[in-house]
Amino acid sequence: MTEASNKEIPSHNPYICDLDEDGVLRIKVPYTEKWDYYYLFIARYAQRNLRKYTETGDSKYEDLFFTQVDFLCDELVDKDGFAVWQHDYSLPWYDFDEKPWVLGLGQAVGMLVLLEAHEHTGKSHYLKYAKKVFRSFDVEMDEGGVKYVDEDGYTWFEEYAIKPPPHVLNGFITILQSIDEFYEYTENEKALPLWEEGMETLRDNVHRYDNGYWSLYDQLTFFPSTMSYHNMHIKQMKELYEDTSQDIFLEYADKWEDYKKNWLNKFRKSIGRGYVHLKTKGFTGCLKRYYCHWRYHKKGK
């Protein structure tokens, strides 16, 4: 096992993270005493260690990279022509308790990590696994994938592949960008049409994520985004404009940037988030949720 100091283990609010005895990143499942694996964070931790290895040449980071990557390979669940990482614990953010469930964002970032491992080593099995993960974006949720086609015929790639689908904005965009990167690396003939379908959905529906004073996190709870997610949305809109030259993305990047300049908008964002909590959970439910959150972090590791 390759050791990592506590300072090198990433913190993912609202998750508490640690390394298991084999050096694989794990989380303390909210709001429980159970430790388990969240494949998105494992993939991001792998990317972080590969960057550090590239910067420093220190082999411990390369070892940690492959510890995460090989664990991801071992954890893939083969389906009918595709593969997914499945989670077997409750999803508290959406009060979702059906198991297992698939995280589309984890599929996207995990796929890119497998491509990085292939590029780094030339070993064909990493590319084979990446292609299996990619196919999950062409499989609808009812069949175990992460694609959802709505009543208007729009194709969504869900960060959380659950019913009802939340349509999380930052996750949808990241998946689209990952599909584009997969196409650039593999020239897979199915990747470009999927990206184009998703981009059409985003272009025609981005207005739904604007509430007049802030960006929305999703289309299920209609939460006004936290400041960090609002900033992420702005960054993603700018990236999409740079990649596609489509004015609508720059329009929303500028609009959401302007929203931040008004202190009243920031205040309304906070009030709006509280209102959604009260509306969906009730006063008692909110107190219980906040207590569970406090207790989870109070006890720590």
Mean pLDDT calculated for residue range 99-119: 97
* pLDDT > 90 fraction of the chain, expressed in percent and rounded: 79
Mean pLDDT calculated for residue range 78-95: 88
Looking at the structure of the chain, the number of domains it has is 1
> In this predicted model, what pLDDT tens digit does every residue of 225-284 receive, in sequence order?
999 999 999 999 999 999 999 999 999 999 999 999 999 999 999 999 887 878 777 778
Q: Which residue has the higher pLDDT, 233 or 13?
A: 233
Residue 160 near residue 101 (C-beta atoms within 8 A): yes
At residue 290 the predicted structure's pLDDT band, cuts being 50, 70 and 90, is: low
Residue 123 lies in a domain: yes
Residue 1 lies in a domain: no
Q: What is the model's pTM?
A: 0.93
Nearest C-alpha neighbor of 118 from the set 196, 185, 62? 185
Residue 186 lies in a domain: yes
Residue 221 lies in a domain: yes
Mean pLDDT calculated for residue range 58-74: 98
Mean pLDDT of all residues belonging to the chain: 92
> In this predicted model, what pLDDT tens digit does every residue of 192-241 receive, in sequence order?
999 999 999 999 999 999 999 999 999 999 999 999 999 999 999 999 99
Residue 111 lies in a domain: yes
At residue 97 the predicted structure's pLDDT band, cuts being 50, 70 and 90, is: confident
**The predicted structure's pLDDT at residue 282:** 78
CA distance 81 to 139: 10
Out of 100-104, 260-264, 294-298, which region has the weakest mean confidence (pLDDT)? 294-298
- CATH number of the domain where residue 111 is located: 1.50.10
* pLDDT > 70 fraction of the chain, expressed in percent and rounded: 90
Whether the per-residue pLDDT at 1 is higher than 50: the answer is no
Whether the per-residue pLDDT at 295 is higher than 80: the answer is no
Mean pLDDT calculated for residue range 50-67: 98
**Residue 69 domain boundaries:** 6-299
Residue 19 lies in a domain: yes
Residue 233 lies in a domain: yes
**The predicted structure's pLDDT at residue 206:** 98
**The predicted structure's pLDDT at residue 281:** 74
Mean pLDDT calculated for residue range 97-118: 96
At residue 96 the predicted structure's pLDDT band, cuts being 50, 70 and 90, is: confident
